[in-house]
Amino acid sequence: MRVLITGGAGFLGKRLANKLLQRGRLKDAAGRERTVEQLVLLDVVAAEGFADPRVKVVAGDICDTQLLNGIFDSGISSVFHLAAVVSGQAEADFDLGMRINLDASRQLLDVCRSSGRRPKVVFTSSVAVYGGALPDVVQDTTALNPQSSYGVQKAVGELLVKDYSRRGFIDGRVLRLPTISVRPGKPNKAASSFASGIIREPLQGEEAICPVSPETRLWLLSPRLAIESLIVGHELEAAALEGGRSINLPGVSVTVAEMVAALEKVAGPATVQRIRWQTDPMVERIVGSWPGRWDASRAEALGFSCDSDFEGIVRAYIEDDLPANQATEDRNTN
């Protein structure tokens, strides 16, 4: 079985690849357990850190149809489509967002169709497909009403995956991810970047700017559970998706103030003093349009799970990603 991960050099792509290499097996579209013979990691830059002979690293433009056709000529059975321009960047550069988030997704689906293999396709969507006047708890039946270019691009991508599945070209499943926190690494141009930055940077002894009010409510999922959810979504049989191909994943509903309180509980008051509050109207507008909670009962019934609370998310980041356990050092000096 050959598996393609787009965005394979990214933080989620690399973690997913490592998890799949550990598992060694996945179900194909017919529900049969098959050995993962090859993982193709496609990104604009080469994915690093893989010595496993099952990994093939491809650096190139996801919009290059010839490149995609060459990859599919090897016999791709499953696709995890993670490649995307993040929300803030898609808002700032309309053409780039449309090219990568929409045009490239359409091209990828067309190559899947041309392959004639009806591959499984896991498409990652977002809380950003919702917006406007929302109920306190968004339901599966709540209409999509994105308030950003990124949200529109993801919403259109969802519809394409559904239609290509209806026509029998792919076996698609759409996973609407909560905001992922805490992401390791450096800040990026996502509107939600602060949701990791206000935890990550203070724990590393650095200042962080929070561009939204403490009352802003977010729907969050840890990287650990995000990777688990991608695999659970892939392994679902098509019959489980008869109620709809788009699935709202479970998460933790928390205000920014509650996030900071959890950080203080774990790492002490000196750590949270590194957070500086400075409103950014664009970020506040985009993030404020997203739901702070949605009904994930269907996802839970299908086997998806979430973190117990945000304190647990902070502790998971410390265990998995924080260099030299600075949080413990900070706490012990307060």
Instruction: Encode pLDDT of 106-155 as tens digits.
Output: 999 999 999 999 999 999 999 999 998 999 899 888 999 999 999 999 99
Residue 186 binned pLDDT confidence (cut-offs 50, 70, 90): confident
Q: What is the dihedral of CA 191, 87, 80, 299, to 10 degrees?
A: 60
Confidence of residue 188 (pLDDT cuts 50, 70, 90): confident
Query: Which active-site residues does the annotation give?
Result: 150
Mean pLDDT of 22-44: 95
Asked if 158 contacts 118 with a C-beta cutoff of 8 angstroms, the reply is no
Q: What is the mean pLDDT of residues 253-282?
A: 96
**For residue 277, what pLDDT is reported?**
96
Confidence of residue 328 (pLDDT cuts 50, 70, 90): very low
Architecture of the 2-180+222-248 domain = 3-Layer(aba) Sandwich (3.40)
Which of these ranges, 32-41, 180-189, 256-265, has the smallest mean pLDDT? 180-189
**Number of Cβ atoms within 10 Å of the Cβ of 331:** 17
Note the pLDDT tens digit of each residue in 66-103: 999 999 998 999 999 999 998 889 999 999 999 999 99
pTM above 0.75, yes or no: yes
Is there a shared CATH topology between the 2-180+222-248 domain and the 194-217+251-292+307-332 domain?
A: no
Above pLDDT 70, what percent of the chain? 97
The matching CATH number, chosen from 1.10.3720.10, 3.90.25.10, 3.40.50.280, 3.40.50.450, for 194-217+251-292+307-332 is 3.90.25.10
Residue 33 is predicted with a pLDDT of 94
What lies within 8 Å, CB to CB, of 159 at 6+ separation is none
Q: Report the relative pairing of strands 120-126 and 171-177 from DSSP bridges.
A: parallel
Q: What average pLDDT does the structure give for the chain? A: 93
Residue 333 has pLDDT above 50, yes or no: no
Q: Flag the least confident range among 50-64, 181-195, 306-320.
A: 181-195
Helix (H/G/I), strand (E/B), else coil: 275? strand
- The tens digit of pLDDT for each residue in 205-226 reads 999 999 999 999 999 999 999 9
Q: What is the pLDDT of residue 87?
A: 87
| Other C-beta atoms lying within 10 Å of the C-beta of residue 167 | 9
Give the burial string for 281-290 (b: 16+ CB within 10 Å, else e). eebeebbbbb
144-to-90, 137, 155, 167, 206 alpha-carbon distances in Å: 18, 14, 7, 22, 38
Task: Evaluate the omega torsion of the peptide bond into residue 182 and state whether it is cis, within 30 degrees of 0.
Answer: yes
Predicted local confidence at residue 193, as pLDDT: 92
Q: For the chain, give me the number of helices (H) and strands (E)?
A: 14, 14
Average pLDDT score over residue span 256-264: 97
Closest CA to 220 of 258, 185, 265: 258
Q: Where are the domains of the chain?
A: 2-180+222-248, 194-217+251-292+307-332
